[in-house]
Amino acid sequence: MPTECSASLFEFAPVAGRQVVAGFDGGTITSDAGALLLGSTDRAIRMTERFAGCFTDRRVPGLVEHSVRTMVMQRVFGIALGYEDLTDHDELRHDPVMAVLADKLAARRSDCAALAGKSTLNRLELSRVEPTRYHKISHDAASIEALFVALFLDAHRRAPEQIILDLDATDDPVHGHQEGRFFHGYYDCFCYLPLYVFCGRHLLAAKLRRSNIDASAGAVEETARIVAQIRRRWPRVRILLRADSGFAREALMAWCEANRVDFLFGLARNDRLVEAIKTELAEAAAESAVTAKPARRFGDFSWCTLESWSRTRRVIGKAEWTGGDANPRFVVTSLKPAEIGARHLYEAVYCARGEMENRIKECQLDLFADRTSAATMRANQLRLWFASMAYLLVGALRRIGLAHTQFAQATCRTIRLKLPKIGALVRLSVRRVKIAMASACPWQHEFGLAHALLANAAR
């Protein structure tokens, strides 16, 4: 007899004498079952609820199908799960796990999905400070900026003795005619120049800026705002501001000195600075010639520019000889020699700022903070904030739920691929929603531990 075939099944090569067939008849299945951990994380820190509180909704309540909180949650969770574009949500709006996270299994209207599609979410991203006839949702930029710092403060049970705030500017390449984009000579492309402020892995600010400005533009204002909010909660905490030579500007250093904030900035070298450590360079060259290895010495001296600085400041010079050539580097700081030595200050404190580059890469490469393709800077700033909130959400999962697992130091991308991306069959009944995750998932122990820790944190 001929084999019985079905038009809905696809036949493949047989294995061990058995037919291999496939079909799209598995029922309601999701590939993001592990996103339930992100939902537990969100309940523990109340992030999307507080983020949604920064928006004002002037739509007619009786006609609203998708609330602002649901749309904010959907956008942030979507980015955290790897769905960077709004068009992804035309399919994601039907995902059963996303519906569970939104606490909305069905829409009021029979012809509408439980969650919002790309057009509705686009109107959210195009929200304005003042609502219009076609954009009735507005957002408060100052409240959003304050929320980043508030989430950082809430992550600590007690005030630390000292914190280090890292500042850095990076390129955000654009490929259209977005408002505020300019050609940047250093990065050799049309781009934005966002300013980031981190404290360790915590993101405190993500400010989108035009690229035709100095790297330090607006740094005084951002620092003043963040420091003021931190000191309202932690009045005695010691704060060290750390950045590369692009931020070694008189205005920022003078502000730090006037407001009890220490600083440690890279300092662009010049002939006068190199002359100041010529003895150390000669000693390093002599040692390198004998050992055939790189050698370094450190100079510690007071120095002032000819015109731009208002006072003399402490400068550390790294006199390094490597590869048969001099490699001098300099930093300027408010920290006193009696408090910390030159070598330790440079090698252990200043060089550690390079870790911030990894955090920016996580934001841009793992969580799509560079998807700034909207026409206006206002909409692109909001996109940057959505991506930044997704970074905070995954970071909170790592800090609270994964602290005692092999993923305690993992990147956002690794966490997303190992835990949220779990296939599952979803069964909906009158009494419960059963999400049957893949039995072969290798990270079941980490999932269970994270679930317990997050449940305890949410109490």
Q: What is the pLDDT of residues 197-238, one digit of tens each?
A: 999 999 999 999 999 999 999 999 999 999 999 999 999 999
In degrees and rounded to multiples of 5, residue 265 shows phi and psi of -120, 145
- For the chain, the first-to-last Cα distance in angstroms comes to 64
394 burial type by CB count under 10 A (0-12 exposed, 13-18 middle, 19+ buried): buried
Percent residues over pLDDT 90 in the chain: 87
| Predicted local confidence at residue 7, as pLDDT | 61
Rounded to two decimals, the pTM is 0.93
Over the stretch 317-339, which tens digit does the pLDDT of each residue have? 999 999 889 999 999 999 999 99
Which H or E element spans position 316? Answer: strand 313-322
Q: What's the pLDDT band for 458 if we cut at 50, 70, 90?
A: confident
Q: How is residue 179 written in tokens? A: 């408002």
- Domains of the chain in start order, with CATH, are 29-139+368-457 (no CATH), 142-366 (3.90.350.10)
User: 65-79, 117-131, 182-196, 376-390: which range is least confident on average?
Assistant: 117-131
Band of pLDDT at residue 127, cut at 50, 70 and 90: confident
Residue 106's Cα: distance from chain center in Å?
Answer: 32
- C-alpha to C-alpha distances, 69 to 72, 96, 116, nearest whole angstrom: 5, 18, 11
Rounded distance, CA 173 to CA 282, Å? 43
- Strands 29-30 and 424-428, sheet pairing: antiparallel
* Residue 290 vs residues 282, 293, 321, 429: alpha-carbon distances, Å: 13, 8, 12, 78
CA neighbor of 169 nearest in space, from 257, 247, 100, 235: 247
The mean pLDDT of 428-435, rounded to a whole number, is: 92
